[in-house]
Amino acid sequence: MKYQHTKVLGIYKQAMNKHLILLTLVLIALMCWGCGTISQDTIDLGGEIPQAPDYQKASSWVFQTPTPDKPIDVFYVYPTIYAEKSPANMDIKNADLRGAAEHLIDVQASVYSESANIFAPYYRQMSFAKLNPKEDMYKNQYFQLGYSDVSRAFEYFLENLNHGRPFILAGHSQGTQVLIQLMREHFKKPGLHNQLVAAYLIGYSITPEEFATYPWMKPATQATDTGVIISYNTQAPGVTGSPVLLPGAFCINPLNWTTDETQADKLSNLGAVFFNDTSNHIEREIPHYAGARVDKETGALVTTLPEELDVGAFPRGVYHKYDYALWYCNLKANVKTRCKNYFEKNEE
């Protein structure tokens, strides 16, 4: 899991600075979902479209477990790391961006690595700069381009890499959005859903309306259920303005695995894990770091932290950047629990 140590932090800071400028547009976009779309021929293509990944080539994958020796796989999609205006979509040949994506294998996908073989594709994700405030994000042509890559990668994964093993879907932020679209379109097939251990769709919102529209997408209700979606967005009490939190968002507490407002004390936090921004080394691992509860009114996972954290371009108190870090050890333990329970259920 090596990457270009000296450049990754610069990529993150560049993306966050771009995001600050675009944050207002994101909020407007979220409020305007469902208000109609703009014809693609009225949108500037933003320069040349990067070459599509060829998933038969190892170079089109951020990571593939070299020798899959675990009975379960994880298909992981990284969050937004690209912010330039042109091209409108990430060029997966860009060495700096490749390094940033590889870094996230350590920071996020390592939650799953003790339980599952990791398969993570590069994809031509949409740039922050191409968020369109007048259209549904899922209909945005630039988002759809990135999604088309992940859809093809998932099909290749199933046909050539997975060999029929059960699997986990996992992502964050734009990676989660892509996987939501993937579940909408691919999981109509009952046989495919039977392979799903769980979908950790963290850092974006899924609403009750979405569960009703796509009944094969089911919310988790406890620590052990399988074939379900785990989702939450972390923030401080009373915070507003999160661009990833939609009204009525589904939320499950990763400390006590309930969806009600029961407070989970910090003693139930097995450990927050913070990685160095420019290496794959763990900088701090802190048991009992913070507690959390679900706020039913906002759909947020609410926490009070013992220190001020750098949230990048997000509003103060929106801990989007730390959705994995704050609950890292509990997530890792839960992945093991759901994997174990998946096999026990399927042996019956």
pLDDT tens for 133-170 read: 567 888 889 999 999 999 999 999 999 999 999 999 99
Q: Does pLDDT of 13 surpass 50?
A: no
More confident residue, 33 or 206: 206
Nearest to 115 by CA among 325, 345, 332, 346: 332
Q: What is the average per-residue pLDDT within 331-344? A: 97
- DSSP string of 166-230, one letter each residue: -EEEEEETHHHHHHHHHHHHHTTSHHHHHTEEEEEEESS---HHHHHHSTT--B--SSS--SEEE
Structure tokens at 317: 């108190």
- What integer pLDDT is reported at residue 348 of this predicted model? 58
Which pLDDT value is given to residue 21? 39
Q: What is the pLDDT of residue 33?
A: 29
Q: Which residue has the higher pLDDT, 41 or 335?
A: 335
Contact 262, 293 (CB under 8 A): yes
Res 264: pLDDT: 98
When mean pLDDT is compared across 11-25, 195-209, 288-302, the lowest value belongs to: 11-25
Write down the pLDDT at residue 134.
63
| Beta-sheet strand order (sheet of 293-295) | 234-235, 300-302, 293-295
Q: Contact at 8 Å (CB) between 275 and 209?
A: no
Q: What is the mean pLDDT of residues 237-262?
A: 95
Structure tokens at 120: 């993570």
pLDDT at 347: 79
Percent of the chain with pLDDT over 90: 77
- Quick one: how far is CA 305 from the chain centroid? 22
| pLDDT for res 27 | 35
Quick one: average pLDDT of 120-144? 86
What's the confidence (pLDDT) of residue 16?
Answer: 45
Residue 109 phi, psi dihedral angles, 5° rounding: -65, -20
Cβ within 8 Å of residue 281, ≥6 positions away? 275
Q: At 68, list the tokens.
A: 């899959």
Structure tokens of 159? 């046909």
Tokens of 41: 């021929």
Residue 99 pLDDT greater than 50, yes or no: yes
Locate all alpha helices (DSSP H) within the chain, ordered by sequence: 5-31, 95-104, 110-113, 141-156, 174-186, 190-194, 208-213, 328-347
Give residue limits of the domains in the chain. 5-35+44-347
Q: What is the pLDDT of residue 286?
A: 98
- Name the helix (H) or strand (E) containing 234: strand 234-235
| pLDDT score of 135 | 73
State how far Cα 35 lies from the chain centre: 25
With cut-offs at 50, 70 and 90, classify the pLDDT of residue 131: confident
- Is the pLDDT at 78 greater than 50, yes or no? yes
For 127, what's the count of Cα atoms within 13 Å in the CB-facing half-sphere? 24
Mean pLDDT across the stretch 115-121?
98
Phi and psi (nearest 5°) for 285?
-130, 120
Q: What does residue 331 show for φ and ψ, rounded to 5 degrees?
A: -60, -45
Nearest to 253 by CA among 308, 295, 312, 197: 295
- Give residue-wise pLDDT tens across range 270-306: 999 999 987 789 999 999 999 999 999 999 999 999 9
With a cut of 60, say whether residue 181 has pLDDT above it.
yes
Q: Is the pTM of this model over 0.85?
A: yes
**Residue-averaged pLDDT of the chain:** 87
State the DSSP string of 85-136: SSSSB--TT-HHHHHHHHHHIIIIIHHHHTTSEEEEE---PBPGGG--TTS-
Angle at 315 between CA 269 and CA 45, to 5 degrees: 115
Note the pLDDT of residue 26.
40
**Which of 131-135, 159-163, 185-189, 251-255 is predicted with the least confidence, judged by mean pLDDT?**
131-135
pLDDT for res 15: 47
Q: What is the pLDDT of residue 6?
A: 35
**Could you say which DSSP state residue 327 is in?**
G
Percent of the chain's residues with pLDDT above 70: 85
SS3 content of the chain, % helix, strand, coil (to 5): 40, 15, 45
100: confidence class by pLDDT, cuts 50, 70, 90: very high
Angle between helix 95-104 and helix 5-31 axes, rounded to 10 deg: 80
Residue 74: Cβ within 10 Å count: 25
Residue 191 binned pLDDT confidence (cut-offs 50, 70, 90): confident
Higher pLDDT, 252 or 11: 252
Q: How far apart are CA 191 and CA 151, in angstroms?
A: 17
Three-state DSSP class for residue 276:
coil
Could you report the per-residue pLDDT of 221-248, keeping only the tens digit for each?
999 999 999 999 999 999 999 989 998 9
